[in-house]
Amino acid sequence: MENSTYQLIEDCKATNRALYKFYAAVMIVIFILALPLNASVLHLFIFKLKFWKSNSNNIFLFNLVLADILLLFCLPIKAYNFIQGERRSENDTVCKAMLFMLFLNRGASIAFLTVTSIDRYFNVVHPGRKNLLKALKKSPQISILIWLLLLPLTIPTMLKTFECCNSHKTTNDDTLVKDVVDSLREVVFFTQIVIPFIILVYCTVHIVNRLRKKTVGDRTKLRRAVFLVTAVMVVFSVCFLPCTLARMVLLITRVKDLSERHQDKAAVAFDGLMVLSYMDCLLDPLVYCFCSTKFKALYLSNYFPFLVRDAQVSFDSSTGNASHPASHPTSNNVI
């Protein structure tokens, strides 16, 4: 039985077919729910908000939803592999392409969530201070730069087939190149989650402190900023931190060369928590609502007009501002 489990691990096969079929079902549900949601958000950014003309965070948020949609297209392939009892595609080209897309778009999603929180931090904690981010956020340059910086981080996934997360696994053909590639891959995986999380904690703490010290003035803007960074923290805590901890446990079992049974349990847990990480495609729209004071009203008025109780909100796509009829100056449609 031990040899059978060992062989399944080495061949990148699922040792628990029923559990991996459940993982596949979860990914299919995420895909079915998240695709129309993100597509509708993308439609608003392009045809209603005209994000490229906006003087707000819409450029960042557009890139965030774009990363989520590109990530979603990987899920049906991943689900199919799991249903077939494979932890990865047996086709090396498909396998590497999938890893490239997953690394790139997960990294982009994390990066744009972090940049959005940093921007809100400067607006709230240092409102009068000039900063490079504030100057560049109105143009696409910084978004293009982020995508370009993420591309080299995917190189470790393309140098050698990602053997089912078997990094640093003890084998007879260990080489220095293999160790370097494995180490680069793990550095990319951990830094793209741990460093942004530290930044988010820093931004959250300072924004909350700013809210507590604010005794006069507009506290609504500060509360909205707290909601934003809290939403981002929830996305990180639910989606990314569990799989990071599972990855750490998995690496420990590899490096210490524990029994195949322990390695298999660690790998199965990691695969399951990676599936959970794809939930960020469903949670990110919460960030859109908390980040933009107009987005919720615009979304409801376009897709769920029957939920809009008060006067309709007219939207100026060139400025990203909502206006209300004079008879309803305090409409609740805009968060």
pLDDT at 313: 47
Cβ atoms of residues 80 and 165 within 8 Å: no
pLDDT at 47: 87
Exposed, middle or buried by CB within 10 Å (0-12, 13-18, 19+), for 216? exposed
The DSSP code for 329 is: T
Query: Letter for the amino acid at 211?
Result: L
Q: What is the pLDDT along the chain (335 residues), one digit of tens a residue?
A: 344 565 566 567 888 889 999 999 999 999 999 999 999 999 998 888 887 776 557 888 889 999 999 999 999 999 999 999 888 888 878 888 888 888 888 889 899 888 888 888 888 888 777 666 666 666 677 888 889 988 887 776 665 555 565 555 555 555 676 677 777 778 888 888 999 999 999 998 988 888 778 755 567 777 777 888 888 888 899 999 999 999 899 888 877 877 778 888 888 999 999 999 999 999 998 888 777 767 888 888 888 888 776 544 444 444 445 554 443 433 333 33
How far apart are the C-alpha atoms of 228 and 54, rounded to whole Å? 19
pLDDT at 137: 63
pLDDT at 333: 34
Max Cα-Cα span within the chain: 78
What are the residues facing 314 on neighbouring strands? Answer: 323
The domains located in the chain, with CATH, are 11-292 (1.20.1070.10), 295-321+330-334 (no CATH)
DSSP state letters, 68-84: HHHHHTTHHHHHHHHHT
How far apart are the C-alpha atoms of 295 and 41, rounded to whole Å? 9
Exposed, middle or buried by CB within 10 Å (0-12, 13-18, 19+), for 189? buried
Cβ atoms of residues 81 and 89 within 8 Å: yes
pTM (2 decimals)?
A: 0.82
